[in-house]
Amino acid sequence: MSVPSETATQTISYSDLVALLAQIFQRHGTSAEVARVLAENCASAERDGAHSHGIFRIPGYVSTLASGWVDGKAIPRVEDVASGFVRVDAANGFAQPALAAARALLLEKARSAGIAVLAIRNSHHFAALWPDVEPFAYQGLVALSVVNSMTCVVPHGAERPLFGTNPIAFAAPRAGGDPIVFDLATSAMAHGDVQIAAREGRSLPPGIGVDRAGQPTCDPKAILDGGALLPFGGHKGSALSMMVELLAAALTGGNFSFEFDWSKHPGAKTPWTGQLIIVIDPAKSAGQDFAERARTLVEQMQGVGLQRLPGDRRHQQRAESLRDGIVLAGHDLQQLRDLAAQ
């Protein structure tokens, strides 16, 4: 799968893409519920122009399901631990169905306690992180999530990789506009973007990664072939990546990025780790309405010359996709149809 380029393109509606992807997931071993959740997630990323987490991921999902590494029919077990704490054992399934199963309880706790945390363990996260937090912002809540992944990032000051790309995602409501949402890998580049660069034969800027000898490289293939990524922002990004390991793995009861061994499952692609989501109800805060305050901040950011907010590009692309349909390379759409029929 590739980003639409000079090849012939075709257009598909969001709902048709969801249906097609759900068919693929179910055909390749997930339950109907898991297929629905993953299809919406993946189609949303494609719809929003987040190509590295859109249909580009489908072959990886199919491969990991075929390998027996992840349970596509897992039924998450939700535990109500305390007035602000929900735990989910994803039962070796995907993280998104675990979040879906716990969402109502998490929301109820956040509104009642003012803050609540969801600790997902024994889970596989192979998607963008912003779709997990953005819905809370549409419900007037502030959400923060972290997920660890698989060893591919050299801690700042170390010699060999240990951390995952370990993203941090944040969403907050904003009056008179789309929520403020960001999703940033604590690595210098997201793994999917390195894969896309390798596929397209593009060089990377300096500072992204090292080759298998630990030497700096701008070749994405050298990073993927035994090399590793660097954290963004030197020791600060590295500290944040370490924090993600502690919150997403140690605090949930999940695996660190370096702990799982998928060597007996050739074709496995999904990190088997954990995820943490913190949701805060700003209605409990003092003073003015939070969403109005967020609007004020955004106006001031624009006032000092900021052209584009985090998340703006996604929201613009989303509006276009919902109006005109999602544009895919013809051969990619055909590949999806083949996978659905296989």
User: According to the binding rule CB under 8 A, does residue 286 interact with a copy of itself?
Assistant: yes
52 is catalytic: yes
201 binds a copy of itself (CB under 8 A): no
Q: Is 193 a catalytic residue?
A: yes
Site for a copy of itself in 89-108 (CB under 8 A): 89
Q: CA 277 to CA 102: how far, in whole Å?
A: 11
At residue 169, the 3 state secondary structure works out as strand
If one asks whether residue 209 binds a copy of itself (CB under 8 A), the answer comes out as no
127 vs 168, beta carbon nearer a copy of itself: 168
Q: 217 is written with which tokens? A: 């490289």
Segment lying near a copy of itself (by CB under 8 A), choices 13-21, 55-63, 250-258, 325-333: 250-258
CA distance 160 to 155: 8
Name the catalytic one among 28, 48, 52, 332: 52
Q: For residues 205 and 220, is the Cβ–Cβ distance under 8 A? A: no
Backbone torsions φ then ψ of 7, nearest 5 degrees: -70, 165
Which of 58, 237, 269, 314: binder of a copy of itself (CB under 8 A)?
237
Catalytic (active site) residue 225: no
Given 193, 219, 281, 332, the catalytic residue: 193
Angle between helix axes 32-47 and 95-113 (nearest 10 degrees) is 80
Stretch that binds a copy of itself, among 23-31, 36-44, 56-64, 78-86 (CB under 8 A): 78-86
75 binds a copy of itself (CB under 8 A): no
Structure tokens belonging to residue 84: 């602000």
**Amino acid at the residue 26:** Q
- Using the contact rule CB under 8 A, the part of the chain among 15-23, 61-69, 180-188, 332-340 near a copy of itself is 180-188
Handedness of CA 62, 167, 253, 278 (dihedral sign): negative
C-alpha–C-alpha distance, residues 150 and 258, integer Å: 6
* Cβ-contact 91, 78 below 8 angstroms: no
Which residue in the set 32, 104, 175, 250 belongs to the binding site for a copy of itself (CB under 8 A)?
A: 250
296 is a site residue for a copy of itself (CB under 8 A): yes
Q: Do the Cβ atoms of 191 and 57 come closer than 8 Å? A: no
Residues 256 to 275 in contact with a copy of itself, rule: CB under 8 A: 256, 258
Which one is catalytic: 28, 51, 53, 124? Answer: 53
Distance, in Å, from the CA atom of 179 to the CA atom of 270, rounded to the nearest integer, reads: 29
Is residue 233 a contact point for a copy of itself (CB under 8 A)?
yes
Under rule CB under 8 A, residue 249 binds a copy of itself: yes
Per DSSP bridges, beta strands 228-229 and 216-217 are: unpaired
Q: How far is the CB of 338 from a copy of itself (least distance, A)?
A: 38
Site string for a copy of itself, 1-40 (x = CB under 8 A): ----------------------------------------
Please identify every residue annotated as catalytic: 52-53, 193
